[in-house]
Structure 1
Amino acid sequence: MMPTAGPELRDIHVPHVSMWWPLAPGWWLLIALLSAAVVVGVILLRRRAAWKRRVDATLVDLHDATARYAQDGDLAAFASVASQLLRRVARTRDSRSVVLRDLAWRDALAAMAPAQDIDRLLAIDDAIYRPDATLDVIPTARDVEAWVRAALRRRPAHVTA
C-alpha cells in the first residue's frame, strides 16, 4: 500500500444557480436605462401627437376657407380667415404682434418663422380691403399652413414689459 501524500480530495459540486437571478449590477443598470429611454420616448411621442392635434385644429378654419373659395370664389372671405389665423398664431408667439402693421408686421412674421417665405402672407391684408386685389389662393394657403406649422414649432419669445 502506498502512503498518501496529502488529504483525500473530493469532486467539486457547483450549486445550481439560476441564469436570471440574481442579475449582476450592470444588467440592473442596463434595465434602468432602457426603462428610462422607453418612458422618455413615450412622453415625446405623446407631446408630438398633442402638438400635431393642436396644429391641425388651428388649421381647420384655413382648410374650410380654401374649400369655400373653391366653391364661391370670394377672395375677401378667404383673405379675412387667413389674416385672422396669422394674427391669432402670431399673438400666441408675441402678444405685441396684434397691433403691428406694414414693416413691423413683416419683421414679426419673418422672426416667428425665419425659414418661411412671407411674401404671399403680406399680400393677404391687401386682398381683404381691395376689391381688385389678386391672390393665388392655393399657394397662399400652403404658405400660411407652412408658416403656422413653423411658428408653432418654435418657442415663443419672452416678452419683457
Structure 2
Amino acid sequence: MNPTLLDLKDIHEPDVIAWWPPAIGWWILAVCIPLLIIFFIWLYKKLTRKTALKTARKILIQIKHDATRDNLQKLCAVSVLLRRVAISVSPQAKAAGLTGRQWLEFLDTSVKGLPFSEGVGQLLADAPYRKTPPTELEISQLIELCEDWLKAQTKS
C-alpha cells in the first residue's frame, strides 16, 4: 500500500487543558479548607474552655474541703482561682487588669443580681483590709457564689 494514496493525517495531540476555570473539586476544596480551619479553632477553644472550667470546679472543691487552710487563705485561693478562670475564658484584655469595684462588676455580669458588688462577693475586694478574718459562713457563701459563677461560665 502506498501511504500517499490513503490520505492519512498525522497524529494530533489534544489541546492543553486551561487552568481557569478550575474543576468543581477545586472549588469544593477552596470552600471546605477554610471552613474546617474555623471549625477546628472553634472546637479547640471550646474544649480548652471546658477543661479550664472543669479543673476550676475541682480546685474549688479542694479549697472548700481543705481543713489545713484558715479562712483568709481559702479566700486568697478562691480569689486567685476566679482570676485565672476569668482570664482563661474571657478575652485577657477584658479581665486581666481589673481590680476592686471593676473586678466585682465584671464578675457580676455572669450571674443574676449583684452578688459580688453588693453581697458576699465583696470579700474578694475588701478582705485584705479588714481587721478580722472572714467567718466560716462568709467563706461557705462565697464558695457557693463562685460555684454559681463557674456554672454561668459554661452557659456562655
TM-score bracket for the superposition, by shorter chain length: 0.5 to 0.7
Q: Is residue 75–residue 124 contact of structure 2 (8 Å, CA) maintained in 1?
A: yes
Displacement of 1:93 in angstroms is 1.2
Corresponding residue number in structure 1 for 2:102? 104
Q: Which amino acid aligns with 2:92?
A: S
Displacement of 1:102 in angstroms is 2.0
Displacement of 1:153 in angstroms is 2.3
Displacement of 1:137 in angstroms is 1.6
Q: % of aligned pairs identical? A: 18
Displacement of 1:133 in angstroms is 3.1
Q: How far, CA to CA, are the matches of 1:54 and 1:73 in structure 2?
A: 23
Moved more, 78-87 or 116-125: 116-125
Q: How far, CA to CA, are the matches of 1:65 and 1:146 in structure 2?
A: 16
Q: How far, CA to CA, are the matches of 2:76 and 2:105 in structure 1?
A: 20
- Work out the number of aligned pairs and report it: 103
Given the superposition, is the C-alpha separation of residues 149 and 78 from structure 1 closer, same or farther in structure 2, using an over 3 Å criterion?
same
Q: How far, CA to CA, are the matches of 2:125 and 2:62 in structure 1?
A: 19
Task: Identify the match of residue 87 of structure 1 among 80, 83, 89.
Answer: 83
Corresponding residue number in structure 1 for 2:25? none
Task: Describe the SS at the equivalent of 1:80.
Answer: helix
Task: Identify the match of residue 57 of structure 2 among 59, 69, 73.
Answer: 59
TM-score (norm 1): 0.53
Q: Is residue 127–residue 134 contact of structure 1 (8 Å, CA) maintained in 2?
A: yes
TM-score (norm 2): 0.54
Displacement of 1:124 in angstroms is 2.4
Q: Give structure 2 stretches of 5+ with no counterpart.
A: 1-45
